[in-house]
Amino acid sequence: MTKLLEWLFGVSFVLVAWAVVSFDLLDLSLPQTYREVAWPMPLYLLVSFGCYSLATVGYRVATFNDCEEAAKELQEQIKEAKEDLRKKGLKM
């Protein structure tokens, strides 16, 4: 089973469960409060997932290492390498 199918199954399962509770499809005569809580649930989940993603990505962008040192070191080594290679007879 591919990830795509797994996700389709998962999502449809959740959707069905949600519909059953919020529209009382099976006539389970659930208390009114259940339906009131379930009904806007997908929106809440979506919004909180969005917030969470934004926060994580924002945090990671802010703390992403800028490798200034590595860039400098590389520049020095490039110089050294070019010189050494010229001595060894490389024609660029």
Partner 1 sequence: MASRKTSHPNRDNEDKYSVLLPTYNERENLPLIVWLLVKYFGESGYNYEIIVIDDGSPDGTLEIAEQLQKIYGEDKILLRPREKKLGLGTAYIHGIKHATGNFIFIMDADLSHHPKFIPEFIEKQKEGNYDLVSGTRYQGNGGVYGWDLRRKLIRLRFNFLLFSTVFPSLVRSRGANFLTQVLLRPGASDLTGSFRLYKKKVLESLVERCVSKGYVFQMEMIVRARQLNYTIGEVPISFVDRVYGESKLGGNEIVSFVKGLLTLFATT
Which positions lie near partner 1, rule CB under 8 A?
2-4, 7, 53, 56-57, 60-61, 64-71, 74-75, 77-78, 81-82, 84-85, 88-92
In this complex, which beta carbon is closest to partner 1, that of residue 3 or of residue 32?
A: 3
Minimum CB–partner distance for residue 82 and partner 1 (Å):
7
Nearest to 24 by CA among 35, 37, 11, 12: 35
39 Cβ contact partners less than 8 Å away, ≥ 6 residues apart: 22
From CA 77, how far away is CA 85, in angstroms rounded?
12
Minimum CB–partner distance for residue 79 and partner 1 (Å):
10
